[in-house]
């Protein structure tokens, strides 16, 4: 089986208009062009991605590394099990081969999402610690009683905790799993204590957004901005901003998650399952070329330029390889990704802490920046929610200030009597687009 590298710029019979010029890894400005270079399917390719012969949609990259090495991903990276149809024979075979204890361990291992394993253990440990402080080590934490909920809740309230409900849920789970009954009085007490702890706490902390116009002016260099951070950190941040990604989604992306439709000039990013997608159904998000929108980065050409650099680098580009590798070739850690966002904020001239000493940038900074930027450009909030794969009110909190600025700007440019709403555009063409390279 052969997999053909996708057509890149200037390879079709009818050449496309001039593309925007992106800085190359050598620092010179150029319009990204490479020659077609088919590659054989090798042992490095663990999960072949092929497209029908009649389709112009092709996988993003196929060059195999000379000596493929195993790729270790982050411990909190989402896992996708490619299950097509259940097999009773397979289940019985594994039971006989591995034993029931091993299979039940696998079941318990996926009780919560990988990103929630640490926080879940921490919440119950904190509850236990407060219980000991309130009643002493001689009083067992289980069974949980209405009186212990009140006592422990008072410590959470005076300590300024925001998410008491999560801690109370952890205590309830431990109580029930230990064989005790959660009564109506338990539930009644949990509800009113949660309300008391949460009363008057104000809005939740939100990751700071980047100053987008400054983000677009940062130089594209492959050198990481922090130890074990992603290479090409500016491109990493700009693409995460365009697709409204959290740091974990951008950091754990593999080469097989990207594909390009060169005829339509569209870039598809397959995103993995998350803790709210426990079935790991995954979802794809598509950006067309938007070079005609001069105030936005073009995700299509950014992705193309990054793949050109990746293929020219020493890193493997098989489907399981990191798309944003560290210098060592692995996935960036959460700490390194957040530190990269902080370094980007510093390059944009933004402070890292507020007046009270709280950290401003976090793993959601690119997601917040993208939401606000699209809102300012007139994209409807519901469509931003779809792009961000989030149906709750969090996106509203992200874009509230941006929508107010947009409203003020629109009101200033149009008298109230002649006010017209922001133009509504189709979802698959998020903005008023011009052909690639149009002025």
pLDDT tens-digit series, residues 31-46: 433 333 333 222 222 3
- Of 204, 208, 254, nearest to 371 by C-alpha is 208
Residue 104 included in any domain:
yes
Residue 69 included in any domain:
no
Residue 290 included in any domain:
yes
* Radius of gyration of the chain from its Cα atoms, rounded to whole angstroms: 25
Residue span of the structural domain in which 360 resides: 207-439
Q: What is the DSSP string of 312-369?
A: HSSS--STTSBSS--TTSSPPPHHHHHHHHHHHHHHTT--SB-TTS-B---TTHHHHH
CATH number at residue 361: 1.10.443.10
Residue 14 included in any domain:
no
Residue 232: CA count within 13 A, CB half-sphere: 27
pLDDT tens-place values along the chain, 439 residues long: 333 333 322 333 333 334 344 444 444 444 433 333 333 222 222 333 333 343 444 454 433 333 334 455 666 666 666 566 788 888 999 999 999 999 898 888 777 766 556 677 889 999 999 999 999 999 999 999 999 999 999 999 999 998 999 999 999 999 999 999 999 999 999 999 999 999 988 766 678 999 999 999 999 999 999 999 999 999 999 999 999 999 988 998 999 999 999 999 999 998 865 545 544 446 888 999 999 998 999 999 999 999 999 999 999 999 989 999 999 999 999 999 999 999 999 999 999 998 888 899 999 999 999 999 999 888 888 888 888 877 677 777 788 767 666 555 555 554 444 333 433 333 334 443 334 444 3
Q: Does one domain contain both 351 and 212?
A: yes
Q: Does one domain contain both 409 and 298?
A: yes
Q: Does one domain contain both 119 and 237?
A: no
3-class DSSP assignment, residue 189:
helix
pLDDT tens-digit series, residues 301-337: 999 999 999 999 999 999 989 999 999 999 999 999 9
Residue 10 included in any domain:
no
Q: Does one domain contain both 332 and 272?
A: yes
């Amino acid at each position: 089986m052969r997999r053909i590298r996708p057509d890149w710029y200037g390879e079709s019979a009818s050449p496309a208009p001039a593309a925007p010029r992106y800085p190359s890894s050598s620092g010179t400005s150029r319009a990204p062009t490479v020659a077609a270079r088919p590659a054989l399917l090798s042992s490095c390719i663990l999960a072949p991605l092929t497209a029908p012969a009649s389709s112009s949609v092709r996988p993003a990259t196929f060059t195999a590394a000379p000596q493929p090495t195993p790729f270790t991903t982050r411990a909190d990276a989402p896992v996708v099990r490619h299950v097509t149809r259940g097999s009773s024979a397979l289940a019985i075979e594994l039971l006989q081969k591995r034993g029931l204890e091993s299979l039940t361990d696998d079941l318990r291992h996926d009780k919560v999402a990988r990103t929630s394993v640490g926080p879940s253990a921490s919440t119950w440990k904190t509850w236990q610690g407060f219980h000991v402080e309130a009643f002493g080590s001689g009083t067992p934490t289980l069974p949980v009683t209405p009186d212990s909920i009140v006592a422990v809740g008072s410590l959470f309230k005076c300590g300024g905790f925001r998410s008491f409900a999560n801690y109370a849920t952890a205590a309830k789970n431990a109580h029930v799993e230990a064989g005790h009954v959660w009564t109506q009085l338990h539930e009644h007490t949990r509800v009113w204590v949660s309300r008391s702890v949460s009363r008057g706490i104000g809005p939740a902390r939100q990751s700071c957004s980047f100053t987008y116009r400054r983000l677009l002016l940062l130089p594209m260099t492959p050198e990481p901005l922090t130890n074990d951070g992603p290479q090409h950190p500016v491109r990493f941040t700009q693409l995460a901003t365009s697709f409204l990604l959290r740091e974990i989604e951008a950091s754990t992306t593999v080469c097989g998650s990207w594909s390009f439709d060169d005829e339509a000039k569209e870039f598809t990013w397959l995103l993995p399952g998350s803790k709210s997608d426990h079935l790991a159904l995954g979802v794809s998000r598509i950006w067309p070329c938007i070079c005609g929108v001069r105030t936005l980065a073009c995700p299509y050409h950014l992705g193309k330029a990054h793949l050109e650099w990746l293929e020219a680098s020493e890193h493997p580009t098989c489907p399981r390889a990191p798309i944003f590798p560290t210098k060592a070739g692995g996935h960036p850690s959460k700490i390194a990704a957040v530190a990269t966002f902080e370094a980007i904020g510093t390059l944009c001239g933004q402070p890292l802490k507020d007046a009270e000493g709280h950290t401003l940038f976090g793993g959601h900074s690119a997601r917040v920046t993208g939401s606000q930027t699209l809102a300012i450009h007139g994209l409807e909030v519901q469509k931003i929610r779809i792009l961000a794969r989030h149906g709750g009110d969090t996106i509203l909190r992200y874009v509230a200030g941006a929508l107010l600025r947009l409203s003020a700007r629109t009101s200033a440019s149009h008298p109230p009597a002649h006010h017209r709403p922001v133009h509504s555009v189709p979802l698959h063409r998020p903005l008023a687009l011009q052909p690639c390279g149009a002025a």
